[in-house]
Amino acid sequence: METTRRGVSHYLPLSIVAAFWLAPPTLAQAPFTNNDGLYNFVTRPEIRAPKLDVRIYDRDAVTPGYWFVAPYNTNNVWESHQGPLYETCQVGPAIYDSNGDLIWSGACDFNNMNAFDFKPIDYGGKKYLSLNVGRGTPSVYGAGVILSDTYEVVREVQMSGHTDDFNQHEFNVIDDGDAVLYVTEQNLEVPAASIGLVGEAADEPVNLWARSNGIVEESLLWGREETVNFEWECVDGIPLNESTFPWPESAEEGRGWDYMHMNSIDKFPNGDYLFSMRYSDSLMRVSGEDKSIVWRMGGKASDFEMKDGFHFSRQHHGRIVSTSESHTILTLLDNAAGSLGKDEVTTASESSALVVLLQHDPANRASWTAEVLRRYPRPDGDYSHLRGSVQILSKGQASGEDDSTFDPTKTPYPSSLTHIHDRYPDWETANLFVGWSKNGYMTEFRANGSVVAEARFVTSHLDTYRAYKHRGFVGRPVEPPALVAYAFGDVTGQSSAIVDGSGRGVGQTMTVAYVSWNGATEVKRWRAFGKVVQDGGVVVLGGSGPTTYDEAYGLGNAVDPVGGKDEVDEERPSSTIRPSSPSSAYRLSPSSSPSPSSPYPLSTLNSGGRAARHRRDKIPTPSDTHPAPVTTHLGTFARAGFETVLTIPNLPVSHIWVEALDARGNVLGQSPVVRVVVPAAQRPYAPADVLNGDDDDGVGGGDFVFADESEGLIGLVKVPPQAAAAAGSAGWG
């Protein structure tokens, strides 16, 4: 069994490198952010998405794909602390890879508001994203939102006019984006005779306030104004006495009796609708033509014989798998437990995901049956009292293509299921993905019921309404990669045992850069460029080479020092590299542009991004009287989670930028050029090294950056903290 726990902060443990190389200053934490279960990034300190605790039990059996969740808080503590709602971006849509590393957080994009039903969709022939939020978008209240692959809002559907009317349970984009299904709710005053309420006189009618849910199908056709294709209200077709939820003795107008609680909608190929009514313990089919109820499955008025004691309650996420005139296969989550004090009855030993077969021969209604084909119990034996989702991880759905290896003639189930509507043609062999909601608990099952992977949020105060797994979505953010860099050690070279040809110290400097690109799914490697302080030359920066640090962190590639054999030189453009003196080794020639637009090709990599063979530790120590000459490194860094740490030893770099590369070496994007910051806290240099004086120079507290080279000296310039953070944003500075 392989167990993987991800989600740890990607800070480099510099204490392993050397005692005098200090970590970057600790970022101050705002209220409601001091939680080890949340991410803390150097490049994106505002993003505090929850970490995932991932357990992989059979990696070969895991279906490839990203996890799509929307962490949310049920206690509304963000509003109670009297601060801005966007101050701590924890809740909202998020994408994780199968190891549990964060890929994208959209919490800040929606003002840290709770979001629901976040998933990839087919929209206009492309993979987009959809979700719904209670507020935080331009429409203010109750909006379904469609995001492009650049994470920009391309469509917004007004689902309600106020948060009291907003129903977050469904935003189901169908037919390649032609339409969307969502749930509405409103308080209505309705006759109460069906539940036995009468007035003082036996014939006196009595009304009560009921919370009524409705179905809306709204057109999303490109270039056309949204129009409502279909509407249906549950109080028009379902009597109050079908509810299994206790009714209040005094249902007030402000919040009526939630007697049905619709929580999912799907559509049949003939135009009928399937919806789940939590508080009637049933799934219902409504005609798309005359709005009549075609059948009920489960509950007090089931039209099906429930075979072998089949029963479910307080269910969620009913979905059509396959259907014909006489048979239908559905999936649903049997929560088997309520969530409120007056609704504590449980109907099974734990919550389960179900695959259900319905037989509904229209010529013989008396023969209708419902039976469980497969049951997937919650592995920890607990209940999902609220919410949840079930998803078949179909190869056809994941890749956008049907599984051509599926042979419907070999199925043990009725052949009539295969000739009208097979949403998941390989459903019998595909894995099943279940979102259990509480603490973001998710499980991936084999078709046979064995668990291949599971995960949950490390923090206990966040849940997710649903969870999905998909491959095929490619994120291409419009914002550039984020980059922050620090220098540690003897940055001015005054104490270095290594000198270049002019006698200046060059050793014992560690540059540590942090790079991330929120939402970029194609990035496989980072290629770093920098401006070396000694001679102003532009060099390509790579990993720390075959050193103890590379062995510890697995970062980057390496080449031999000047004079040794370079294993990858033969594949580089011969005009690009011009070795000369040690201080200018691997500098770009004058004819080469210092712009990132002419980088080295990915073919210059060796070992496929892994560390080159071990030679010897080229990082000198103060006791090393005969250290190696100038160490320069060439190559790229493999992406390592949301934020990758780049380490460049023995090379004082004043400016740095990075390029993001895909698997083929194509440049996907480029970070701004930033100045390397020397943290004031370490002060490993003499006061005379500071060009603009001591601490009384009027600049106040702050860090330092390298001075523009003057008269061959390496100097530092003090800058205020905010200036250090923004250093280099306008170019070489």
pLDDT at residue 75 in the model: 55
pLDDT at residue 625 in the model: 38
Tell me the average pLDDT across 98-102: 93
Q: Is there a domain that residue 312 lies in?
A: no
Cα dihedral 570, 576, 578, 583 sign: negative
- Band (pLDDT 50/70/90 cuts) for residue 345 is confident
Closest CA to 114 of 139, 89, 95, 97: 89
Contact yes or no for 71/22 (Cβ under 8 A): no
- Band (pLDDT 50/70/90 cuts) for residue 193 is confident
Q: DSSP 3-state helix, strand, coil percentages of the chain (rounded to 5)?
A: 10, 35, 55
Tell me the average pLDDT across 190-207: 69
Q: Highest mean pLDDT: which of 107-121, 565-579, 625-639? A: 107-121
pLDDT at residue 204 in the model: 67
pLDDT at residue 535 in the model: 52
Closest CA to 330 of 369, 283, 362, 288: 283
Tell me the average pLDDT across 722-729: 52
pLDDT at residue 292 in the model: 96
pLDDT at residue 351 in the model: 97
Whether 433 shows a pLDDT value over 90: the answer reads: yes
pLDDT at residue 14 in the model: 30
Rounded to the nearest angstrom, the gap between the alpha carbon of residue 590 and the centroid of all alpha carbons in its chain is: 44
Closest CA to 704 of 508, 483, 482, 486: 486
The residues, ordered by sequence, that sit 6+ positions from 65 with a Cβ below 8 Å of its Cβ are 98, 393, 398, 469, 470, 471
Closest CA to 435 of 519, 331, 585: 331
pLDDT at residue 702 in the model: 65
Q: Is there a domain that residue 45 lies in?
A: no
Cα dihedral 547, 551, 552, 556 sign: positive
Rounded to the nearest angstrom, the gap between the alpha carbon of residue 430 and the centroid of all alpha carbons in its chain is: 23
* pTM for this model (two decimals): 0.77
CA-to-CA dists, residue 533 to 537, 572, 702, angstroms: 8, 25, 21
Q: Is there a domain that residue 314 lies in?
A: no
Closest CA to 509 of 541, 557, 551: 541
Choosing from 303, 330, 365, the residue where a domain stops is 303
Q: In this predicted structure, which of 176-180, 257-261, 411-415, 535-539 has the lowest mean pLDDT? A: 411-415
- Band (pLDDT 50/70/90 cuts) for residue 118 is very high
Distance CA 720, CA 288 (A): 65
Query: Regarding predicted confidence, which is higher, 503 or 494?
Result: 494
- Band (pLDDT 50/70/90 cuts) for residue 710 is very low
Whether 319 shows a pLDDT value over 90: the answer reads: yes
Q: Highest mean pLDDT: which of 368-372, 460-464, 552-556, 657-661? A: 368-372
Tell me the average pLDDT across 113-129: 91
Please count the structural domains in the chain: 2
Query: Regarding predicted confidence, which is higher, 393 or 251?
Result: 393
Whether 341 shows a pLDDT value over 90: the answer reads: no
Tell me the average pLDDT across 213-223: 85
- The residue behind tokens 């995901």 is 353
Residue 451, strand partner residues: 445
pLDDT at residue 653 in the model: 80
Tell me the average pLDDT across 683-697: 43
Amino acid 202 reads A
Q: In this predicted structure, which of 128-132, 264-268, 458-462, 464-468 has the lowest mean pLDDT? A: 458-462
Q: Is there a domain that residue 47 lies in?
A: no
Mean pLDDT of the chain: 73
Tell me the average pLDDT across 472-476: 95
Q: Which long-range contacts (CB under 8 A, 24 or more apart) does 542-545 make?
A: 542/633, 542/634, 542/635, 542/636, 542/637, 543/611, 543/633, 543/635, 543/636, 543/637, 543/646, 543/647, 544/619, 544/633, 544/647, 544/648, 544/649, 545/611, 545/612, 545/618, 545/631, 545/633
Whether 516 shows a pLDDT value over 60: the answer reads: yes
Rounded to the nearest angstrom, the gap between the alpha carbon of residue 184 and the centroid of all alpha carbons in its chain is: 28
* Backbone angles phi and psi of 722, in degrees to 5: -70, -30
79 membership: H or E segment, kind and range = helix 77-80
Question: What is the DSSP code (8-state) at residue 59?
Answer: G
Residues making up the chain, counted from first to last? 733
Query: Regarding predicted confidence, which is higher, 670 or 557?
Result: 670
Contact yes or no for 275/315 (Cβ under 8 A): no
Choosing from 303, 334, 364, the residue where a domain stops is 303
Distance CA 62, CA 55 (A): 11
Whether 131 shows a pLDDT value over 90: the answer reads: yes
Whether 378 shows a pLDDT value over 80: the answer reads: yes
Which domain covers residue 253, as residue numbers?
A: 114-303
pLDDT at residue 278 in the model: 94
Choosing from 247, 282, 303, the residue where a domain stops is 303
pLDDT in tens, 32-88: 444 689 999 999 999 999 999 999 999 999 999 999 999 987 654 444 434 344 457
Between β-strands 327-334 and 431-435, what pairing exists: parallel, antiparallel or unpaired? unpaired
- Band (pLDDT 50/70/90 cuts) for residue 582 is very low
Whether 600 shows a pLDDT value over 50: the answer reads: no
Q: Is there a domain that residue 624 lies in?
A: yes
Whether 613 shows a pLDDT value over 60: the answer reads: no
Q: In this predicted structure, which of 347-351, 499-503, 699-703 has the lowest mean pLDDT? A: 499-503
Q: In this predicted structure, which of 291-295, 384-388, 693-697 has the lowest mean pLDDT? A: 693-697
Distance CA 631, CA 105 (A): 38
Q: Is there a domain that residue 245 lies in?
A: yes
Contact yes or no for 123/473 (Cβ under 8 A): no
Amino acid 52 reads L
Q: Beta strands of 34-85 (E only): which ranges?
A: 52-56, 66-72
Rounded to the nearest angstrom, the gap between the alpha carbon of residue 378 and the centroid of all alpha carbons in its chain is: 23
Closest CA to 566 of 615, 508, 524, 507: 615
Q: Is there a domain that residue 731 lies in?
A: no
Q: Is there a domain that residue 466 lies in?
A: no
Amino acid 223 reads G
pLDDT at residue 672 in the model: 94
Distance CA 72, CA 167 (A): 15
CA-to-CA dists, residue 226 to 144, 180, 217, 273, angstroms: 13, 10, 10, 20
pLDDT at residue 500 in the model: 45
